[in-house]
Amino acid sequence: MEEKNLRPWGYYQILSDASDHKVKRIVVVPGASLSLQRHKKRAEHWYAVSGAGVATIDGKAISLTDGKAVDIPQGATHRLENTSTADLVIIEVQTGTYFGEDDIERLEDKYGRV
5-108 maps to which CATH number?
Answer: 2.60.120.10
Q: What is the phi/psi pair of residue 59, to 5°? A: 85, -5
The pTM (predicted TM-score) of the whole model is 0.95
Q: What is the pLDDT of residues 52-65, one digit of tens each?
A: 999 999 999 999 99
pLDDT tens digit string along 88-112? 999 999 999 999 999 999 999 999 9
Write the Ramachandran bin of 15: left for phi over 0, alpha for psi from -120 to 50, otherwise beta. alpha
Element (H, E) at 49: strand 42-50
